[in-house]
Chains A and B, each alone.
Chain A
Amino acid sequence: MTDVGTDSDRLTRAEHNEPLLEVIDLKTHFQVEGGIVKAVDGVSFTLDRGKTLGIVGESGSGKTVLSRSIMRLITAPNVITHGEVRYDGRDLVTKSSREMKAYWGVEMAMVFQDPMTSLNPVVKVGRQMTEHIRHHLGVSKSEARATAIELLKSVRIPEPEVRIDNYPHEMSGGMRQRVCIAIALACGPKMLFADEPTTALDVTVQHQILNLLRQQQKDRFMTMIMVTHDLGVVAGRTDEIAVMYAGKVVEKAPTNQLFADMRHPYTQALLWSIPKVSQPKHTRLNAIAGRPPDLISPPSGCSFSPRCPYAQEKCHIEEPPLTAGAAPGHQFACWYPVGSPENEAAWERNLAAGVPQTLAAAGKLTATEELLETINLADDTSDHEGAGA
């Protein structure tokens, strides 16, 4: 365990309040037959102790790969990793699996998406917990059992003394996720990754699990990264949000700032796509037109440009850099950021030109089939869906 760093060294870092996690230009690429899949393509951020970062993006945006890359859980033989992950001042990217064992469970832990599959179906939950506790803390069997019961109690599982002898299939989804959280917390990690922890659960249980995570984070002063596709999940529970698209961070801001003044069209589109309770019945869902980009050969320019209602000629050619906005800590990568006069001009231009995704966003095209047809036609007739034409 010495390679985690000496105690005094770490204490100093903690006293000086240096960030617990610094990710610098992290790239995780997969070599496949058709080329290189750029699942994570140059992500940087820093995360202070005790803070929560939300990583938001749709399926295939690289958010899960990012969190697993930071924990170094990706061991596929065809993976190529670049960049730096500095955890408490030490680079994790260069560490071997053997060295990473000093971190897994003790320093950082992960709660997975589906509690139905992240527990071993043939082993009682108690043994899944106690073995882990005994392995890391070296305590006796009965002590480990007592600790496990304590943990189950802390994640609010009723009758933990009975539940500890249950098999996973004897529990409900919410309970299983509580057990998963308890296992992740067992050795007091300083950093917790929650990879879509509530996606597989129903809404009321979601709420409880999210509250539980927040409570545990507060109690244990943990740093947390919460990965989700649901902006609503991270809205009230994170200090900062990074929106990912095609393996890149496209907008990053403190949570309040992001919701008050979102600048990237993708962030806006994500928020629009959430069904509202106030809407009348049978309102058509506001899906983002098109599909996530092909990560082997992403579109030139801004990778969101083929789906963006504001896309202009420049967007298809030149990739926007991640630049600081007016507010502190707000960064975004867009040539025509939402809320700017350029953005409004672009919208008007696209609307006039009849760019399909703009029409769709304006509610003038409703049926998805209709939209797809128009996109196909546009592909056949023009080079760049009439942008700026």
Chain B
Amino acid sequence: MTALDAQTDSISITDDDAPAERQGSTPIERPKRATPLQVFREMPIVIKLSTIWLLLVFGGAIYAKIDTVLLNDALPLQNPNLQTNNFNPATGEFGDGEPNESWSSAHWLGTDTIARDTFARIVHGAWVSLIIAMVSAGFGVVVGGFFGSLVGFVRGRTETVTMAAMDVILAFPALILLLAMVSIFEVRSLTVIALVIGFLSIPAYTRVARAGSLAVSQREFVLAARAIGTKPMKILFREVIPNVLPTVLSYAMVAGAFVIVVEGSLSFLGLSVQLPTATWGNMINQARGNLKVNFAQVFWPSMALVLTVLSLNSVGDWLQKRAAHRGSAL
């Protein structure tokens, strides 16, 4: 009995039955959600530059699209398909450009083999990369993210079958499968290319989401949700998916970069969006035979590609670390 007494002693250190936490009258400080500007401020310099570059690419692509589609070339950016040395019947003069021109105030990055403005083509080419990256990320996050979370949560036969199907898609060399699928369609429009690439990026997202879902489904709050009688589908959408989403989204950045490279390869091979639509890949391809004469025609689109991929990767990595850091604090 003495042991018991000592024991109860050790527990009842405080015997005030009432007030819970050290409540007091101090107002509860609520950490506000960081504004985009605050997030930007706390970025390391490399990430800052990457973000700026990505915003430029994004803005440039939108600007170019608005210019051609809505405003009929009214904005100060040249038509990417205009041969600047062409005779203009209205004015009776030739254009201001020459083929393979070096940089000048009229053509900032010079002109290509048929006197089109390189800068304008790069800006317009950004649109293709942007759409490809976004559509593939959209497909991946929505379809791959959902199926991955689902099978990681329900397990069993659904998981085996889904993952086997994904493995089959993954087992094909991506580029070759892409070539096969693209060749099915007669018209290689941006929509077709984006959809095909989007479809092919689903398996990778499914795997990422499944891995996250497997871990989250084992967490106690999922069991707690079951213990109060929550429906499985509701658990999936309320408990599992919101916790898997940050991982999937930061993967989307990195996967987006990969997809841009894939589209670049495809258009370098002349199998992406049909000419004369400007893409970074086909610009490199067209100037490739001409490397000695005008190195800049290959250099600039390559730089655009490299910088974009690099930025996406580093910003993606940074976001991932940030999410992981916040996750560990929970």
Quick one: given A117-B221, A175-B21, A208-B20, are A232 and B7 in contact (CB under 8 Å)? yes
Given contacts A119-B221, A120-B238, contact A203 B13 (CB under 8 A): yes
Tell me which residues across on chain A come within 8 A of B230, comparing CB atoms: 105, 131-132, 135
Q: Is B14 interfacial (CB-CB < 8 Å)?
A: yes
Pull 29 A–B residue pairs with CB atoms less than 8 Å apart, ordered by A.
A73-B226, A102-B229, A103-B229, A104-B229, A105-B230, A106-B229, A117-B220, A119-B221, A120-B238, A120-B243, A121-B330, A123-B238, A123-B239, A131-B238, A132-B228, A155-B20, A162-B28, A169-B329, A178-B20, A183-B228, A208-B14, A208-B20, A232-B8, A232-B10, A235-B11, A260-B1, A271-B3, A271-B4, A277-B10
Q: Does A186 contact B (CB under 8 A)?
A: yes
Q: Chain A: which residue is nearest B330 at the CB level? A: A121
A271 to B225: give the CA distance in the assembly, Å.
35
Q: Mark out the residues of chain B between 188 and 242 whose CB falls within 8 Å of any chain A CB in the assembled complex.
A: 219-221, 223-231, 234, 238-239, 242
> Which partner residue on chain B sits nearest A278 by CB separation?
B6
The answer to whether A110 has its CB under 8 Å from any CB of chain B is yes
Complex CA distance for A255 and B163, rounded to whole angstroms: 53
Instruction: Give chain B residues whose Cβ lies under 8 Å from the Cβ of A132.
Output: 228-230
CB proximity of A73 to chain B, nearest CB, Å: 6
- Does A13 sit within 8 A of B, measured CB to CB? no
Where the two chains meet, the residues of B that have a C-beta atom closer than 8 Å to any C-beta of A are 1, 3-4, 6-14, 17-21, 23, 28, 30-31, 156, 219-221, 223-231, 234, 238-239, 242-243, 327, 329-330
From known contacts A158-B21, A172-B21, A259-B4, infer whether A117 and B228 are also in contact, taking CB-CB under 8 Å: no
Decide: A77 and B156 in contact? CB cutoff 8 A: yes
A180 touches B224 (CB 8 A): yes
Q: Which residues of B contact A166 (CB under 8 A)?
A: 28, 30
Give A259 to B4 CA distance when docked, in angstroms: 7
Given A131-B238, A172-B21, residue A112 in contact with residue B220 (CB < 8 A): yes
| Interface size of A in residues (CB-CB distance below 8 Å) | 68
Neighbouring B residues of A120 by C-beta, 8 Å: 221, 225, 238-239, 242-243
**A187, B3: Cβ atoms under 8 Å?**
no
A136 contact set on B, CB distance < 8 A: 228-229
Measured CA separation A277–B85 after assembly (Å): 95
B7 with A121: CB separation less than 8 A: no
- Of A208, A260, A276, the residue contacting B7 (CB under 8 A) is A276
CB distance from B213 to the nearest CB of A (A): 14
Residues of A within 8 A of B238 (CB): 120, 123, 131
Tell me the complex Cα distance, A197–B220, Å: 13
- Are A277 and B9 CB-contacts (below 8 A) given A135-B229, A272-B3? yes
CB-based contact B224/A118 at 8 Å? yes
> From residue B45, how far is it (CB to closest CB) to chain A in Å?
29
CB within 8 Å: A-B pair count: 146
Decide yes or no whether A29 CB sits under 8 A from chain B: no
Does A150 touch B at the CB level, under 8 Å?
no
Q: Is the CB of B227 within 8 A of A110?
A: yes
Instruction: State A99–B63 Cα separation when bound (angstroms).
Output: 58
Contact call B20/A235, Cβ cutoff below 8 A: no
Name the B residues within 8 Å of A156 (CB-CB): 18-20
Chain B residues within an 8 Å CB radius of A231 = 7
B271 to chain A, nearest CB (A): 42
Residues on A lying within 8 angstroms of B by beta carbon are: 71, 73, 77, 101-106, 109-110, 112-114, 116-123, 131-132, 135-136, 155-159, 162-163, 166, 168-170, 172, 174-175, 178, 180, 183-184, 186-187, 203-204, 206-208, 210-212, 231-233, 235-236, 259-260, 271-272, 274-278
Interface centre among B10, B19, B243 (most CB of A within 10 A): B10
- Say whether A233 contacts B11, CB under 8 Å: yes
Do B224 and A110 have beta carbons less than 8 Å apart? yes
- By the criterion CB–CB under 8 Å, are B229 and A112 in contact? no
Residues of B within 8 A of A186 (CB): 228
Q: Please, how many angstroms separate the alpha-carbon atoms of A166 and B30 in the complex?
A: 8
Top 7 closest pairs, chain A to chain B, by CB: A104-B229, A158-B23, A105-B228, A105-B229, A156-B20, A276-B6, A121-B330
Which one, A109, A159, A180, A232, contacts B28 given CB within 8 A? A159
A109 touches B21 (CB 8 A): no
- 5 new A-B pairs (CB below 8 Å) besides A112-B223, A135-B234, A260-B1? A135-B229, A158-B19, A162-B28, A183-B224, A235-B8
Q: Are B4 and A235 in contact (CB under 8 A)?
A: yes
Residue pair A123, B242 in contact (C-beta under 8 Å): yes
Q: Do A276 and B3 touch across chains, with their CB atoms under 8 A apart?
A: yes
Min CB gap A91→B, angstroms: 19
Residue numbers in B under 8 Å from A275 (CB-CB): 10
User: Closest residue of chain A to B4, judged by CB?
Assistant: A259
State which of B13, B19, B225, B239 has its C-beta within 8 Å of the C-beta of A204.
B13
Contact (Cβ within 8 A) A104 B20: no
What is the bound-complex CA distance between A172 and B28, given in angstroms? 12
Give A205 Cβ to nearest chain B Cβ, in Å.
8
Residues of A contacting B329 in the complex (Cβ-Cβ under 8 angstroms) = 169
CB of B20 within 8 A of CB of A71, answer no
CA distance A318 to B224 in the complex (A): 41
A163 and B28 in contact (CB under 8 A), knowing A180-B224, A207-B11, A276-B3?
yes
B223–chain A nearest beta-carbon distance, Å: 6
Nearest-Cβ distance from residue A270 to partner chain B, whole angstroms: 11
Point out the residues of chain B lying under 8 angstroms from A131, CB to CB.
Answer: 230, 234, 238
Complex Cα distance, B313 from A67, in Å, reads: 47
Closest CB-CB distance, B6 to chain A, in whole Å? 4
Most A C-beta atoms less than 10 A away, residue of B1, B12, B227: B227
Assuming A168-B330, A203-B13, is B7 touching A118 (CB within 8 A)?
A: no
Return chain B residues, CB-CB under 8 Å to A135: 229-231, 234
Contacts of A101 in B (CB 8 A): 229, 231
**For A103, what are the chain B residues with a Cβ–Cβ distance below 8 Å?**
229
Set of chain B residues within 8 Å of A184, measured between Cβ atoms: 227-228
Residue A211 contacts which of B17, B23, B220 (CB distance < 8 angstroms)? B17
Known: A101-B229, A120-B239, A131-B238. Is A114-B224 also a contact (CB below 8 A)?
no
Contacts of B17 in A (CB 8 A): 211
A262 → chain B closest CB, angstroms:
10
CB pair B20–A109 under 8 Å, yes or no, is no
Contacts known (A121-B243, A172-B21); A259 close to B1, Cβ less than 8 A:
yes
Shortest A321–chain B CB gap in Å is 28
